[in-house]
Amino acid sequence: MTLLSMDAAKDGRPALPSGRADLPSRLRFDWPTAVAALVYAFQPIVQLRSGRCHGYEALLRGFDRTPFADAGELLDAAEAAGALGTVESALHAKAVAAYRGLAGWAEAKLFLNLDARLVGRPDSPWLSPDSGGRRHTGIALEISERCPTAPDVSVESAVDLYRRSGLGIAIDDFGVGFAGLRLLYEARPDYVKLDRYFIAGIDRDARKRALVAAVVGHAHALGIQIVAEGIETTGEFYTCRDLGCDFAQGFLLAHPRTDITGVTPRCAVVEELNRKDRRQPGEAHRRLSEVIERLPPLRVDSRKTDLLDYFKGDSSATIAPIVDEHDRPLGLIRERDLKRFVYSRFGGELLRNRGLGDRLDDLVVTIPVCDISTPLDRVIEAFSTEAADDGIVIVEGGAYAGVLSSGALLRLVHERNLAMATDQNPLTRLPGNAAIVRRIEGALADPARGHVLAYLDFDNFKPFNDSFGFRQGDRAILMFSERLKAWAAGAGAGAGECFAGHIGGDDFFLGVSGGDEDEALARLAELVAQFRSDAESLYDAATREAGGFLAKDRYGAVRSFPLLSASGVVVVVAPGPHGLTPDAVNAAIADNKAHAKGAADKLCVIRLPETAPR
């Protein structure tokens, strides 16, 4: 391929980048020399649950040897000179040549950044007539949102041209660029790379977790896989993994390397983090393993006659899962879509006609994709939609594992609803004991975040119930439960992930994982104070005026009791390894109830494993 050479002093020369005015005015701007001065570093994109390197992103380095500060300046200058397509093509060719020096390069994809201004243009890389119809199944183009696509370009049509060459499509820096949801809709990508902005501190930010969870659910329903960019802490890793992100990229896992001899096909950091995680494998993994259908897949380069044989066999399958050469799912082919061929006069001959193309690409239908360890609630919520009419492809370690049929999905929905009804408190509709125990166990098995676990109950509830009746007692319980629900929904979250449960009677539980500890404690004190004020509405004016009432105590003696209030023992578990068990938490709560009821703010804070009340 020929690169343009230009005289920087002549007309048509791109303006020098800002901040580079000190360069000699007669610098001959030579594009081949600029490209030759640059080198590529490779950063792995790693499967979050297995540690296998799914692919590598090619990142430009060596700008100190050029007049440009970074890739943005280089590409802007090339565009101004009318050379963007030529320069980008040369850079891609250089990246591919370097990539083939990686160990096991054929087993992983190469992710190449493509300037969005080239989408839909004839000078775009990989669309040249001299490609000879070759397919590039090992390459994914990352469409950057740094610049917008041309306003008159049909992104959908342009992307189809890349797909015909076997190229995968990724949206880079999703959420912070020009296009956002529009590009997601039009490009129908294979991957969405979430920008570092949404990943940084996600383990401590409930709003970021909610946004990422929504994007993950939407993407998976469309058969799109998610890459979390810029992971730098173990908390970010575990949170992104548990939210359902498929792949990760970032300094925690590996820095970009120009020394390609040191790049390995597996990420030891991810393998070690998953090995240390006591929650793996979980209930979701076990249950999905039981209900998925392990239909044998067909490779996308199989002949169309193989497809006909697949449905003619003894199997009653009405769908055929389709995978690429690395067993990664591409979608499925439905038997019903073949009827137009099978039942037409020349349909069978058309399917068998190799001159019309003998691959399966044009028959593949994209369906939702879900990792086998995704929490069951998230599977049900994300996929009990029209998008899952044909089922869900289940992957394990990024590779095809089986298909969750629509019938199996309905069974999971029924099981969840039955479990919720069984464990739900009939009065408050809050989760009951089983869910609370699971919450505490999950918190203790999550050392990446801090946790605030609070046991709350009413003070002197029995005398109140005896004197004013069970109806008023139920009103008090419902009043408090509504406060808890609002708190858990975000009113008192302290930017953490909140959970409210009802143990029974006047005993309640609140849990906060992640977020700001001091804010969570302040909100808890506010919650207790609010209930003390709310409870005054349960009494007549004379009792409120007196500030108390007469009733029998547990020994049968009549004495004065104050107006109803709540108190609580709060167990704070700091991030990091601790070896705590649910029994230790329960013991700390039982030992400190009296401290809580006697405290001015009605709260006793215990820090485990240290148990001195605060």
User: What's the confidence (pLDDT) of residue 302?
Assistant: 86
Provide the pLDDT confidence category of residue 381 given band limits of 50, 70 and 90. low
Q: Do 358 and 271 share a structural domain?
A: no
Give the pLDDT band (50/70/90) at residue 15: very low
Residues 270 and 399 in one domain: no
1 within a domain of the structure (yes/no): no
* Structural contact between residues 373 and 49, judged by C-beta atoms closer than 8 angstroms: yes
> Do 378 and 323 share a structural domain?
yes
Mean pLDDT of 20-32: 51
Residues 137 and 222 in one domain: yes
Query: Which residue's entry shows tokens 């058309």?
Result: 350
Burial profile 477-487: b = 16 or more Cβ within 10 angstroms, e = fewer: beebbebbeeb
| 22 is a domain residue | no
- Residue 344 lies inside a defined structural domain of this protein: yes
CATH of the domain at 138: 3.20.20.450
Q: Is residue 594 part of a domain?
A: yes
pLDDT at 3: 41
pLDDT in tens, 419-460: 777 778 888 989 998 889 989 988 898 887 889 999 999 999
User: What is the residue range of 553's domain?
Assistant: 430-608
Check pLDDT > 80 for residue 495: no
Look at the chain and report how many structural domains it folds into: 3
pLDDT at residue 521 above 60? yes
Q: Can you give the pLDDT at residue 278?
A: 60
- Whether 270 and 305 share a structural domain: no
Same structural domain for residues 274 and 305?
Answer: no
Across the chain, mean pLDDT equals 82
Query: Is 9 among the domain residues?
Result: no
CB proximity list for 133: less than 8 A, separation 6 or greater: none
Amino acid identity at 385: T
**Could you tell me if residue 13 is inside a domain?**
no
The residue-averaged pLDDT of 57-78 equals 91
* pTM, 2 dp: 0.68
528: nearest Cα among 588, 460, 589, 455: 455
Domain boundary among 280, 295, 314: 280
357 and 457 inside one domain: no
Asked whether residue 171 falls in the same domain as residue 237, the answer is: yes
When pLDDT is averaged across residues 607-613 and rounded to a whole number, the result is 65
Spatial separation of the C-alpha atoms in residues 215 and 450, rounded to whole Å: 25
178 and 320 share one domain: no
Whether residue 3 lies inside any domain: the answer is no
* pLDDT the model gives residue 316: 66
Q: Do residue 95 and residue 44 come from a single domain?
A: yes
Judge if 120 and 246 occupy the same domain: yes
* Angle, alpha carbons 163-166-170 (nearest 5°): 60
Same-domain status, 173 and 120: yes
Question: pLDDT band at 578, cuts 50/70/90?
Answer: confident
Q: Which residue has the higher pLDDT, 457 or 359?
A: 457
Q: Which of 355, 388, 415 is the last residue of a domain?
A: 415
> What's the CATH number where 462 sits?
3.30.70.270
| Residue 253 banded pLDDT, cuts 50, 70, 90 | very high
Examine the pLDDT at 396 and tell me if it is beyond 50. Answer: yes
Q: Decide which of 415, 445, 476 is a domain's last residue.
A: 415
Give the pLDDT of residue 382. Answer: 62
Domain containing 397 — which CATH number?
Answer: 3.10.580.10
Q: Is residue 17 part of a domain?
A: no
